[in-house]
C-alpha cells in the first residue's frame, strides 16, 4: 500500500488509522467490537481502541 501511494509505511499506517478510527466512531462500539473479534490481535490500535485482549497464560 505504501509503495502504491509513494509514501512510508508509517505514514500509510497513520492514514489508515485515521480513516478506521473515524469509521469506528460512526458505526459505534458494538459493531466495531464485533469486527475486531474477527481480526488478529493488534488491529484494535488501528481503530483507535486499546488492545485489551489478555495474554495467554
Residue 13 neighbours by CB under 8 Å, 6+ apart: 46
pTM of the model: 0.75
pLDDT digits (tens, 9 = 90+) for 9-40: 888 889 899 999 999 999 999 999 999 999 99
Residue 20: its pLDDT value, please?
Answer: 94
The answer to whether 43 touches 36, Cβ cutoff 8 Å, is: yes
DSSP conformational letter for 53: P
Quote the Cα angle for 12-16-21, to 5°: 150
Task: Give the model's pLDDT for residue 3.
Answer: 79
| CB within 8 Å of 23: residues ≥ 6 apart | 47
Residue 57 pLDDT > 60? no
- Comparing 1 with 35, the larger pLDDT belongs to 35
Amino acid at each position: 500500500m505504501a509503495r502504491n501511494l509513494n509514501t512510508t509505511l508509517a505514514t500509510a499506517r497513520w492514514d489508515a488509522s485515521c480513516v478506521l478510527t473515524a469509521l469506528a466512531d460512526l458505526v459505534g462500539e458494538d459493531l466495531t467490537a464485533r469486527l475486531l473479534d474477527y481480526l488478529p490481535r493488534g488491529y484494535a490500535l488501528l481503530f483507535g481502541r486499546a488492545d485489551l485482549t489478555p495474554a495467554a497464560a
